[in-house]
Amino acid sequence: MNARFVEIADRVHLLREPLLQVNVTLVVGDDAALLVDTLSTAGQARELAEAARRVTPHPWTIVNTHHHFDHCFGNATLAADPARPVYAHQLAATALRDRPDEVRRAAYEEMRAEHPALAAELARTELLAPTHPVRAETVLDIGGRRVVLRHPGHGHTDADLVVHVPDADVLVAGDLVEQSGPPAFEESYPIQWPDALAELLRLTTPATVVVPGHGTPVDPEFVRAQHAQLAQQAWLIRAGHTGSAPPERVAAESPFGARPGLIAARRGYAELDNRP
Cβ neighbours of residue 26 closer than 8 Å, sequence gap 6 or more:
5, 12, 13, 14, 15, 33, 34, 35, 36, 52, 55, 56, 60
Q: Output the pTM of the full model.
A: 0.97
User: Coil, helix or strand for 110?
Assistant: helix
Alpha-carbon torsion (116, 175, 237, 219), positive or negative: negative
What is the CATH number that goes with domain 6-219?
Answer: 3.60.15.10
Tens-binned pLDDT, residue by residue, of the chain (276 aa): 778 999 999 999 999 999 999 999 999 999 999 999 999 999 999 999 999 999 999 999 999 999 999 999 999 999 998 999 999 999 999 999 999 999 999 999 999 999 999 999 999 999 999 999 999 999 999 999 999 999 999 999 999 999 999 999 999 999 999 999 999 999 999 999 999 999 999 999 999 999 999 999 999 999 999 999 999 999 999 999 999 999 999 999 999 999 999 999 999 999 999 987
What confidence score (pLDDT) does residue 10 get? 98
Label residues 149-164 b or e (16+ Cβ within 10 Å = b). Answer: bbbbbbbbbbbbbbbb
Q: Radius of gyration of the chain from Cα atoms?
A: 18
- Alpha-carbon distance of 115 to 202, in angstroms, equals 38
**Can you give the pLDDT at residue 1?**
75
d(CA 132, CA 150): 13
Residues 6+ apart with CB under 8 A from 213: 22, 23, 65, 71, 156, 173, 174, 175, 176, 177, 178
- Name the nearest CA neighbour of 152 among 193, 98, 110, 97: 193
**Cα 17 to Cα 42, 46, 164, distances in angstroms:** 13, 13, 21
Residue 174's closest CA among 112, 113, 256, 87?
Answer: 87
Question: How far, CA to CA in Å, does 33 sit from each of 40, 72, 206, 211?
Answer: 21, 17, 26, 18
Runs of H (alpha helix) within the chain: 42-53, 69-72, 75-79, 90-98, 100-111, 116-123, 193-201, 220-242, 247-252, 258-272
Cis status of the peptide bond prior to 82, with omega within 30 of 0: yes
134 neighbors 90 (Cβ within 8 angstroms): yes
How many angstroms separate the first and last alpha carbons of the chain? 37
